[in-house]
Amino acid sequence: MLKRQRSSIVKSLGKACILILVYALFYGASQVCAESNKPFTADRHKTYGVTCKDCHGDQDKKNFNYKQCLACHDSYQKVAERTKKREFNPHKSHYDDVECNACHHGHKVDENFCATCHSQH
């Protein structure tokens, strides 16, 4: 009788572990999909009719200079002014000149540079 109860408990624990693993796999996959659905900087620009050449010019695409961003977006101060109504203004920084590509990666998902030191709550 005791052996049968132990076997039943082991089977139940095994099933629970399998369910947890399946959930973790699906949850992880959904997070990757959610992250990959965020528009890249280049995608957002494309929706406004900005072409590759508008940002990259004739230069090598891999040697992009962030100062090209400021040709359209003016200055860091003006960008910070446009985003001042957000709960957290990512463009207002205690650093003088954070390069745009510290957060914006053009053809990759953006990241929060500030979060490398400051935790987000």
- pLDDT band for position 30 (50/70/90)? very low
105 in the same domain as 78? yes
**Mean pLDDT for the chain?**
78
* pLDDT tens readout for residues 35-91: 445 667 888 888 989 988 888 888 777 777 888 888 888 888 899 899 999 888 888
66 in the same domain as 29? no
CA dist list (Å): 31 to 25, 42, 88, 102, 111? 10, 22, 23, 23, 15
Range of the domain at 106: 39-121
Q: Could you write out the DSSP letters of every residue in 50-118?
A: --HHHHHTTS-TTS--THHHHHHH--HHHHHHHTTTSSS-TT--SSS---GGGT--SSS----GGGGTS
Among residues 42, 88, 47, 48, which one has the least CA distance to residue 69? Answer: 42
Reading the block at residue 29, the tokens are 């996959």
pLDDT for 21 equals 65
pTM for this one? 0.57
- Number of C-beta neighbours around residue 26 at 10 A: 10
105 in the same domain as 47? yes
